[in-house]
Amino acid sequence: MSHSFPKAAFWSSAAALLAAALYSGAWFFMATTLRTQAELWFEARQQDGVTITSGAGSLTGFPGRIGVTFPGFTISAPPAADSSGAWSWRSKTLRLFMHPLSFQNIFVDLHGSHTLTGLRDTTLVMTLAEGEARFTFTVDRLTHATLDISGLVGTWQSEPEAFFSVEKATTAIEIPVPKDGALPVIHTNIAVTNVTLPDVLPQPLSRTLQNARVDLDIKGPVTSGSLPEVLDVWRRAGGDMDIRGFEAVWSPISAMGDGTIALDRDLQPMGAFTAKVRGFLHVVDMLVADGRMKNSEASIARGVLSLLAKRPSDGAEPELSLAVTVQDRTVYAGPVTLMELPAIKWHANVVVP
């Protein structure tokens, strides 16, 4: 018995050392693979005309979660052929990580400071208290993606006050395998809480969008290329966005409903919605203040809308059910023209990978 204990201890120690060596080897293999795959993705984007620069990726986190950090990360695009301006996004570091036992999930740490140039001929500095994106893959395809951020503040470099802020925002995307003969579908839901916007909004809207949520299905092929090309392929293939439900509270107005959005030949949005709106008389006030509706027209609109509205049994504010359509950059509520929309210019230097 006196000799069996040292022998048992020896083999136990040897087994532990072997297990540690195997784990270390597997950890560094997966970490190196993660770094290599990220570098290959960078190279592929540069072939699309996007410039990516960073320092050498360093491995971090051993023996816990696998991390790769790229210092001084910058992604930029030159001016496009249609004279769309150049843009660039810069972060002090780009941090990727995954858990050793869950290598199909890749996380991107987004907290910290981000600088975006090419907007308004100045620089937007965005600071995130917390932020993380997660991408889930099978062997050869992306199946899920999520984005969670909180404490986002955006400030123009030339102006001291915050341009906007977001208390919390979440986005979840599911990309199922398309059925034979059916258009691909991307299931998406987005929710935001307490989004504070610039102090240039028409009265009586408050600066803060208290909360908003939208659930939608994006139907149609999403290809690679410049944004206008991708959208045109999507439109010609019969693509549309089926908004299964939306809710928004933007004091003193709230709304909920559903609808469908597509693009016309000029890549401008068109669609139809059904909505239930509270605080609708404030919308009339804003149209008058903005010069889009005359006072005489507003008086008639207030009377008609008040007659059409229903007052809930709980005594809450009257609720108006509307059929809203968008066509030729014009918004209609039933047969009534509400407003004209500015044309959207999709920049060709924005590349979809």
Q: Which residues of the chain have pLDDT under 50?
A: 1
Residue 10 within a domain? no
Distance CA 133, CA 108 (A): 5
Total of domains in the chain: 1
State the helix-helix crossing angle for 280-289 and 295-308, rounded to 10 degrees. Answer: 170
Work out the burial of residue 121: count CB atoms within 10 Å of its CB; fewer than 13 is exposed, 13-18 middle, 19 or more buried: exposed
Q: What is the pLDDT of residues 132-159, one digit of tens each?
A: 999 998 877 889 999 999 999 999 887 7
pTM: 0.83
Distance CA 331, CA 339 (A): 5
Q: What is the pLDDT of residues 283-298, one digit of tens each?
A: 777 777 777 678 877 7
Q: Which amino acid is at 89?
A: W
Q: Describe the chain by its helix, strand, coil percentages, rounded to 5.
A: 20, 50, 30
Paired strand residues for 219:
185, 240
pLDDT at position 5 is: 56
Residue 237 within a domain? yes
pLDDT at position 349 is: 74
Read off the tokens for 329: 């950059």
Residue 329 within a domain? yes
Residue 126 within a domain? no
pLDDT at position 129 is: 95
pLDDT at position 82 is: 59
pLDDT at position 135 is: 94
Q: Give the H or E element holding residue 70.
A: strand 66-77
Identify the domain containing residue 280 by its residue range.
Answer: 208-353
Residue 344 within a domain? yes
Average pLDDT, the chain: 86
